[in-house]
Chains A and B, each alone.
Chain A
Amino acid sequence: GIQVEQSPPDLILQEGANSTLRCNFSDSVNNLQWFHQNPWGQLINLFYIPSGTKQNGRLSATTVATERYSLLYISSSQTTDSGVYFCAPGGGGSQGNLIFGKGTKLSVKP
């Protein structure tokens, strides 16, 4: 199955800083989502991005499917951005099945 590696595993930022989270995956995919899991455990959809670039406010994401990686950019971070960010690609025979990485735990300090 697809192997997913996210980096860095932990990240501490001062409010207002920018950051880049990376997701490497081991096989071709036709589905990839980024999620934010808030401190209450809710998984919030950030992007559905199997390829290309998307932006939503302070967040943007880029997936280069041919090179098997995706990046999540957070600009002007806020304390409410704290939580765990998961990358979840999917594909192959079970196209609906997402494979989650271990996540990047982000802490934004005021």
Chain B
Amino acid sequence: EAGVVQSPRYKIIEKKQPVAFWCNPISGHNTLYWYRQNLGQGPELLIRYENEEAVDDSQLPKDRFSAERLKGVDSTLKIQPAELGDSAVYLCASSFLYEQYFGPGTRLTVT
């Protein structure tokens, strides 16, 4: 069974540029999560989807971050414009019930 797929694995951009991350969850997992992990810290939830509905986006900085999950499968997380403080690893996870499975993450560097 394929795991959670994310792309790209690495991204380097200049500040004020836009960037997008893509996630394909494990087949049959209706819940999808985006997390951000800063260096030396644990992951922090940005947004949670149940099917195509964003049920918890309370930690998503909505002035510059947006996300979508069309058709309740793949998801895209976008940052526009990026700031230096957005440098981090962006992780996608999915679950069928409670147990979450994580993708390899996208390491973003903003210069």
Contacts and interface: CB of A to CB of B under 8 A. Distances in A.
A41 interface: yes
* Prevailing SS type, chain B contact patch: strand
Given A41-B89, A96-B31, A96-B48, A33 B100 contact: yes
A98 B94 CA distance: 12
A42 B101 CA distance: 10
Interface in A41-70: 41-43, 45, 48, 50
Given A100-B43, A103-B42, A41 B105 contact: yes
Nearest to A42: B104
Contacts of A42: 102, 104-105
Given A41-B89, A94-B56, A96-B31, A48 B98 contact: yes
A103 to B, nearest CB: 6
A31 interface: yes
Specify which of B42, B98, B99, B102 lies most central, judged by the most chain A CB atoms within 10 Å of its CB.
B42
Interface residues of B, number: 21
Given A41-B89, A96-B95, A101 B42 contact: yes
Given A41-B89, A96-B31, A97-B48, A90 B42 contact: no
A41 B45 CA distance: 17
B31 to A, nearest CB: 6
B16 to A, nearest CB: 26
Contact of A48 (B43, B56, B89, B99): B99
A86 B102 CA distance: 13
Given A97-B33, A100-B43, 4 more contacts: A41-B105, A45-B101, A96-B31, A96-B56
10 contacts: A31-B98, A41-B107, A45-B100, A90-B98, A96-B56, A96-B98, A96-B100, A97-B56, A100-B43, A101-B42
Interface of A: 4, 30-31, 33, 35, 40-43, 45, 48, 50, 86, 88, 90, 94-98, 100-103
Interface of B: 31, 33, 40-45, 48, 56, 89, 91, 95, 98-102, 104-105, 107
